[in-house]
Every structure is written in structure tokens, then in C-alpha cells.
Amino acid sequence: MDYVYGPGKNHLFVPGPVNIPEPVLRAMNRNNEDYRSPAIPAMTKTLLEDSGTGAWESALTNTLSPGDRTVSFLIGQFSLLWIDQQQRLNFNVDVVESEWGQGANLDILAEKLAADHSHTIKAICIVHNETATGVTNNLATVRKLLDHYRHPALLLVDGVSSICALDFRMDEWGVDVALTGSQKALSLPTGLGIVCASPKALEASKSAKSVRVFFDWNDYLKFYKLGTFWPYTPSIQLLYGLRAALDLIFEEGLDNVIARHTRMGKATRLAVEAWGLKNCTQKEEWYSDTVTAVLVPPYIDSAEIVKRAWKRYNMSLGLGLNKVAGKVFRIGHLGNLNELQLLGCLAGVEMILKDVGYPVKLGSGVAAACAYLQNNIPMIPSRI
């Protein structure tokens, strides 16, 4: 039972954690099992930790040594937190800072790579999709720069709010470590950090001097070779949920999943435009299809929008964080979510804007989104 009851279903539109689909909930509704039984290794072929933050630490400590130079881009709250972690782990962090609402400054990256003749830069650390500001970075360009300057630095990517929602090509873009969290596009509860490492990253782990215990890839690889996969006790329920979540993604088709997120991102931005408000993201090339950060007029505290959503309409929206606190609210549109659910959210936002004194025309954003979606939603493949 809810601790604070509200009738109907909570409309969860933060950019993670997201709605959990019924098949995943049912898959997790099971008793404990022996995690060394043959059933469990059959489900787990990836390195998993305990959270996205843990996955950050895993990526860094397994590939780098204290004092190693990293280039990391500060463009919002989550890139800031990853930089803080790098600094606390005693790496030499070369911070490239941009105004919040802008993407990573890749011109500066090019300059740094061109000047680094002795290859002191050991890793490029970049957040693919910064959820605080709704900014998506161009990873393909990062790889082109590394290749152009023939630079051997590792490419470490936070794909927490992008993988399984946005176009992500680990092999083609030469990503050395990609990481994500279960509570985002995978549509699971929080609790799994998923790390994928390239052969180059695995080779780097053999000489990395950073202290690690729980996150040590060598322990996972050792048990992987033994056929039991887990050096520590995993959550059986989350593993069954992950299997069900991946089955849903594969049934829909990953290309279709990405296209669905593209539609919802576009529809949300059209609604924001119809309301007469602006996107925090400053250029179209950086628009995110998993979260939209909406700028509000100076006379409105965006925290009041989030508070009113929860108190009156049983809806959860994302707060503005740090530098954009009070200035933006965030609409999450990722995970196992369809267009009609999104339209319900947009209708709720319109009423909330009216509540807090913004002169929105009710129905304007919903109409703009509907007009776009009605012309672009395909037939459901399994129902044709």
C-alpha cells in the first residue's frame, strides 16, 4: 500500500526511475534461488554492479591508475558528479566546462588531443545524455577525433539515460567502456549497474593500479570462466526482471524502441513550443529524446510545478538540479512508455502551468503533440 495514497496510478515522468511494465513486475515476483544453480548463469552474460554510480567507479578503477590524466566534460549535474568521483579517486581530471544547456565542447577536445604528443591523456570520460539539462552528446564525433589524431586514450561513456533508448553503437564508435543503470530505459527497479568493456579496456585492467575490491573485473571474469558468473550474491529477482525487460525490448525491436523515443522526444518539444516556453537545451543538435528540461519564466519557481504535480495530479516530474534549480522542470519520456501515456502527462503539465500562474492555453501543447503523433505513430508490428 502507498504510504501517501492517491487514487489511480501515479504518473511517473521523471527521467528515471521509470515505469516498470507488468511482465517485468511479474517476472520479479518470485522466491529466492541459489544463484550458483545452472538457471542463473544462463541469464547473466554481462558484468553487473549495484548502481549507475557504482558502474562509474567500476569503469574508472578497472582501467586507470591514480594520477592518470582524464578529459571529462562538465555540462550538467550528472557529469559534475562523475567528475567529482574521478577527482576523489585521485585521477588528474582535465575538466572541459560548458554552459548548462550546451553539449560537450568537442573543439576543445580536438585541441587537447592535437597537443598531447606524449599521450598523457589516458581516458576521455563523457556523459552521452545529461539528464539534468536534456543534452545528448555526439559520440561518433568523439571517436572521429580520437582516430584523426591517432590517440590511444580510452573512451569511457556514461550511457545511463541513453542505452536502450537512443542510438548507441559501442563497436562502431569504438567505445571502450559503456555503462548504464537498470532504472532508466531498461525499465527495472534501481539496483543494477551494467558495464560493457571492450577488449582494449579489459587489457588496460591488467595494469590499472587503482584500488578496487567489490568492483574488480578480475573477480567477475574468474567466476565467469568457472561458469557461475557471480563472485558475490546478486539479486535473483532483478536478474529475472532484467531477462523479462530485455525480452520486451527484443520483441519490439531495438530500432523500433529508438524510433519510439524519437517520436516522444519530438512530441514533447512541440508541446513546449506551443506553450510558449523554451527548451533548456540550446541547440537542436543536442536535443535529448529521453528527457526534456523546460525553462520557466523568472516569476515562476519550477519547484512549485513539481510540487503541484505531485500534490494535485498524482504526477511526478523532474526537479531542476543545482545551477538550474528553480529554473527548469524536467519531463522524462523514456523506458516502456507509449504515446498516449505521454499525452496524459502533457495534459497534466498544462493544468499545472495554469495553476502556477502561467498563461498557457489549455490544449495547445497536447494538440501540437497529437498532430505530430497522429501522423507518425506506426502500427504495432505484433498486431498487424
Q: Which domain holds residue 238?
A: 44-245
Give the three cell numbers for residue 48. Answer: 553487473
> Which residue has cell 535529448?
288
* Interatomic CA distance for residues 275 and 264, integer angstroms: 17
Whether 96 and 163 map to the same domain: the answer is: yes
- Asked whether residue 1 is assigned to any structural domain, the reply reads no
Together in a domain, 331 and 232: no
Pairing assessment for the beta strands 11-13 and 315-317 based on DSSP bridges: parallel
222 and 135 belong to one structural domain: yes
Task: Kindly report the average pLDDT of the chain as a whole number.
Answer: 94
Do 336 and 21 touch, CB atoms closer than 8 A?
Answer: yes
Domain count, the chain: 2
* Distance in angstroms (rounded) separating the CA atoms of residues 302 and 307: 9
Rounded Cα–Cα distance for residues 289 and 161 (Å): 10
User: How far apart are alpha carbons 187 and 196 in whole angstroms?
Assistant: 19
What CATH number has the domain bearing residue 368?
3.90.1150.10
Residues 168 and 302 in one domain: no
| Inter-axis angle of helices 254-274 and 339-355, nearest 10 | 20
Backbone angles phi, psi at 167, to 5 degrees: -60, 120
Tell me how far the alpha carbon of residue 2 is from its chain's centroid: 27
Residue 137 has pLDDT above 80, yes or no: yes
The string of pLDDT tens digits covering residues 331-380 is 999 999 999 999 999 999 999 999 999 999 999 999 999 999 999 999 99
The three three-digit cell numbers of residue 16, written as one number = 528515471
Q: Are residues 271 and 191 in the same domain?
A: no
What is each CA distance from 200 to 110, 115, 156, 229, 260, in whole angstroms?
A: 22, 23, 11, 21, 33
- 203: how many CB neighbours lie within 10 A of its CB? 12
Contacts of 3 (CB under 8 A, 6+ apart): none
Nearest alpha carbon to residue 137 among 173, 163, 165, 104: 104
In a domain, residue 36? The reply is no
- pLDDT tens digits, one per residue of 107-119: 999 999 999 999 9
Question: Are both 179 and 50 inside the same structural domain?
Answer: yes
Separation of CA 71 from chain center: 20
Residue 140 shares a structural domain with residue 176: yes
Give a yes or no: residue 103 inside a domain.
yes
Domain boundary among 245, 266, 295: 245
- Residue identified by cell 539515460 is 161
Whether 371 maps to a domain, the answer reads yes
Instruction: Residue 176: give its domain's CATH number.
Output: 3.40.640.10
The amino acid sitting at 11 is: H
Would residue 6 count as lying in a domain?
A: no
- The span from the CA of 69 to the CA of 293, in Å, is 32
Query: Is residue 325 domain-resident?
Result: yes
Reported as a single tens digit per residue, the pLDDT across 272-328 is: 999 999 999 999 999 999 999 999 999 999 999 999 999 999 999 999 999 999 999
- For 305, 351, 382, the CA distances from 318, given in Å and listed in that order, are 10, 17, 33
With CA atoms as reference, report the closest residue to 338 among 149, 124, 187, 158.
Answer: 187
Domain presence at residue 82 = yes
Do 70 and 186 lie in one domain? The reply is yes
Residue 45, pLDDT score:
52
Residue 76, in any domain of the structure: yes
CB 156 within 8 A of CB 198: no
Is residue 239 located within the same domain as residue 276? no
Size (the chain), residues: 384
Number of H helices, E strands in the chain: 12, 14
Distance from C-alpha of 74 to C-alpha of 97, rounded to nearest angstrom: 5
88 labelled binding-site residue? no
Q: Are 179 and 194 in contact (CB under 8 A)?
A: yes
Last residue of a domain, one of 245, 262, 281: 245
Mean pLDDT of 100-107: 98
Q: Are residues 217 and 98 in the same domain?
A: yes
Determine the pLDDT at residue 148: 98
Helix segments in the chain, DSSP class H:
22-28, 52-61, 77-88, 106-115, 139-148, 199-205, 217-226, 236-252, 254-274, 302-313, 339-355, 364-376
- Give the confidence band of 27 by pLDDT, cuts at 50, 70, 90: very high
Please tell me whether residues 207 and 65 are part of one structural domain. yes
| 234 and 297 fall within a common domain | no
Chosen domain end from 245, 264, 284: 245
